[in-house]
Amino acid sequence: MKEFNLIKRFFTEQVTNRKDVVLGIGDDCALISPPERQHIAITTDTLVSGVHFPVNTSPRAIGHKSIAVNLSDLAAMGAEPAWVSLALTLPEFNEQWLTEFCAGLFELCEYYNIQLIGGDTTQGPLSITVTAQGLVPIDTPLRRSGAKAGDWVYVTGELGDAALALKHLQDEVVIESSFVEPILTKLDFPKPRVLAGQILREYASSAIDLSDGLISDLGHICHSSGVGANIVLDALPLSNILVDTLGLEQAIELALAGGDDYELLFTVSEDNKVGMETVLANAGIPLTCIGQMNTSEKITTTMDNKAISINVKGFEHFS
Amino acid sequence: MKEFNLIKRFFTEQVTNRKDVVLGIGDDCALISPPERQHIAITTDTLVSGVHFPVNTSPRAIGHKSIAVNLSDLAAMGAEPAWVSLALTLPEFNEQWLTEFCAGLFELCEYYNIQLIGGDTTQGPLSITVTAQGLVPIDTPLRRSGAKAGDWVYVTGELGDAALALKHLQDEVVIESSFVEPILTKLDFPKPRVLAGQILREYASSAIDLSDGLISDLGHICHSSGVGANIVLDALPLSNILVDTLGLEQAIELALAGGDDYELLFTVSEDNKVGMETVLANAGIPLTCIGQMNTSEKITTTMDNKAISINVKGFEHFS
């Protein structure tokens, strides 16, 4: 286990040095000095090799993704990312693997001014647990529970591409060669909607990040808010690559149930609709209105203005 | 993975409800409202099955230990435990296993008024990562870096019993049958020195918790503080069971290098010695003075007032 002491070196040479970190890596605990009039948002996500990413995923992508999936949770709360702890379990000491993993991890940390404040390195089957913390001004967090009947349902970005990439890696679909790289980038290097989340604090009535698939995650909002929703399938933001590869029907299915999108799903009242759309457009954040909340307490879908029944994985979470 | 949604139920029925937890389990993030004039201490520890505990360890012990090892880190910082996040990776859904695991985990959380605020449950090889957070009044944390030449070296409790238990489980020693249970309890249900840590904020010049073994962990204090130490082997607090089972020489070896003790190792100046001993005695905390810091920048040991060279695992960390 002597090599595991060396590993610590990989994590102490970081660029980010936040003023609110009183003590970083190297003691029994890290110490932070939390700012006044802010709440701290805390989230934890584990990535297990072969479960949350294919076993042959590049270490740089694993490093990126282990931070990104947590930042996506912070974004869904409207929090500004601040500190992360990393619990890294590795089967063996591999210097090149660690160098690339750290490159992916610190690239994202530096971009968002996040400091790695501690963690644990252990020997075992490859698994990464990150606990990320962020700041939210008091009384303005985005929650899952605030959606009201009549609110409009929005998503950022496009849906289903990451799930398509996974199908490609599992040899379940054939993708045109020029499409492979952009699609794999969507799966391996998701961009958490950190800025969008912070903007939405002022406008959205509820929010969640899309990790399990649209229907499943919308189900959480419906359940927490005690309302239902109708999704207009014609409106779903689908990439040309997704539709060209799978055809419209299967493309919609992936967009509804694929997971791994790490976009934000949120609801906005009629009164806030125009203001929100303007501010997000000015910030360069792509977004699409995909439906409306209602009092039904279930999730329905329409296409060409006709009700259409869907049967997707994840729907059971809600029913 | 549907069963993994059920698992969440095991973690939402807890007794502890802290006022500073604005939002607990159930949204994208937890939200806490940190108190003013306090720093937040943060620590993360991973326990991997077969590495950090034998594969046949009872789930209740695993639940206890996953919290206890983190509380021990908080104690070494003088922090008052407050919130924990749990990342639990399980090979399968096993209701009885989870019930017992939760019993061990929540027993300790309730005792210390700690709230489980979130986490992640995933499928994979058994592994538990806990991130624990605690509160320390500004400017009073215990660090590894404050030891000075002349300071006295202390430990709480007794050393080496957990390592003896591990040897017993690995069939490396034969323990008298009446000794087995108390020894296994030391290994499986370590008692973090939370109260001692908080008291020591006022007295100790440095502190660390004993997880890797006395010499290794003392090495961290020496390294961080830029000093050396001499340990008086005759003074080491050894249980009768340990000495009776192994004889004095091997007992000392385990006390120096065994690990898994989760006692506190700390240094105190001559001026604070009597005050500290009085307050800790009044609090019922067993402690022993085992040596003194010096300017040598290395760790030496003496027995019967004669220098004695030791050769133990972990010593290399420092040299």
- Answer yes or no: do A44 and B120 touch at CB < 8 A: yes
pLDDT value, residue B228? 97
pLDDT value, residue A33? 95
Q: Is the pLDDT of residue A45 over 90?
A: yes
In single-letter form, the type of residue at position A83 comes to W
A237 pLDDT tier (thresholds 50, 70, 90): very high
pLDDT value, residue A4? 63
Q: Where are the beta strands (DSSP E) in chain B?
A: 21-23, 30-32, 38-48, 80-90, 115-123, 127-137, 152-156, 204-209, 228-232, 264-268, 287-294, 299-303, 306-308
Q: Is the pLDDT of residue A158 over 90?
A: yes
- Answer yes or no: do A136 and B31 touch at CB < 8 A: yes
pLDDT value, residue A276? 98
pLDDT value, residue B16? 87
pLDDT value, residue B316? 37
pLDDT value, residue B139? 80
Q: Which residue has the higher pLDDT, B31 or A5?
A: B31
CA dihedral A164, A169, A172, A173 (to 10 degrees): 60
CB neighbours of A303 closer than 8 A, spacing ≥ 6? A232, A233, A234
How many residue pairs bridge chain A and chain B with CB atoms within 8 Å of each other?
189
Q: CA nearest B83 in A: which residue?
A: A42
**DSSP states along B235-254:** G----HHHHHHH-HHHHHHH
- Report, in angstroms and rounded to the nearest whole number, the Rg of chain B calculated over CA atoms: 20
pLDDT tens digits, A28-38: 999 999 998 99
Contacts of A204 in chain B (CB under 8 A): none
Q: Which residues of chain B have pLDDT under 50?
A: 1, 314-319
Beta strands A80-90 and A115-123 are parallel
Angle at which helix A248-257 crosses helix A161-169, to 10 degrees, equals 100
- Answer yes or no: do B207 and A22 touch at CB < 8 A: no
Q: Which CATH class is domain A152-317?
A: alpha beta
What is the mean pLDDT of the segment spanning A182-203? 96
CB neighbours of B197 closer than 8 A, spacing ≥ 6? B74, B75, B76, B77, B78, B79, B142, B207, B264
CATH number of B152-309: 3.90.650.10
φ/ψ of residue B263, rounded to 5: -95, 170
pLDDT value, residue B8? 73
pLDDT tens digits, A206-215: 999 999 999 9
At B260 the three-state DSSP class reads: coil
CB neighbours of B121 closer than 8 A, spacing ≥ 6? B4, B7, B8, B88, B89, B90
Contacts of A22 in chain B (CB under 8 A): 39, 141
Angle at A314 between CA A310 and CA A318, to 5 degrees: 90
Contacts of B26 in chain A (CB under 8 A): 144, 224
Give the best residue of A128, A129, A263 to mutate against chain B (max B CB count within 10 A): A129
pLDDT tens digits, A132-148: 999 999 987 799 999 99
**DSSP states along B28-89:** SSEEE-PPTTEEEEEEEEEEEBTTTB-TT--HHHHHHHHHHHHHHHHHHTTPEEEEEEEEEE
- Residue B189 DSSP code: S
- Answer yes or no: do B42 and A129 touch at CB < 8 A: no
pLDDT value, residue B141? 78
pLDDT tens digits, B163-182: 999 999 999 999 999 999 99
For B249, other C-beta atoms within 10 Å of its C-beta total 10
CATH 3.30.1330.10 fits A3-137, yes or no: yes
**Average pLDDT value for chain A:** 93
pLDDT value, residue B318? 31
Q: Using an 8 Å Cβ cutoff, are B46 and B128 in contact?
A: yes
What is the mean pLDDT of the segment spanning A21-47? 93
Contacts of B144 in chain A (CB under 8 A): 26-28
Half-sphere exposure of B301 (CA within 13 A, CB side): 19
Q: CA nearest A316 in B: which residue?
A: B2
Q: Is the pLDDT of residue A10 over 90?
A: no
Q: For a pLDDT cut of 90, what percent of chain A falls above it?
A: 85
pLDDT value, residue A317? 29
pLDDT value, residue A3? 61
Q: Is the pLDDT of residue A314 over 60?
A: no
Contacts of A51 in chain B (CB under 8 A): 122-124
What is the mean pLDDT of the segment spanning A276-287? 97
Contacts of A77 in chain B (CB under 8 A): 27-29, 31
Task: Please enumerate, as own/partner, the contacts of A95-100 that have beta carbons within 8 Å and a separation of 24 or more.
Answer: A97/A59, A98/A7, A98/A10, A98/A59, A99/A10, A100/A58, A100/A59, A100/A60, A100/A63
- Answer yes or no: do B34 and A34 touch at CB < 8 A: yes
- Answer yes or no: do A89 and B208 touch at CB < 8 A: no
Please report the ipTM that was assigned to this predicted complex: 0.90
Could you tell me which of A72, A134, A39 has the C-alpha nearest to residue A265? A72
pLDDT value, residue B315? 34
Domain residue extents for chain A: 3-137, 152-317
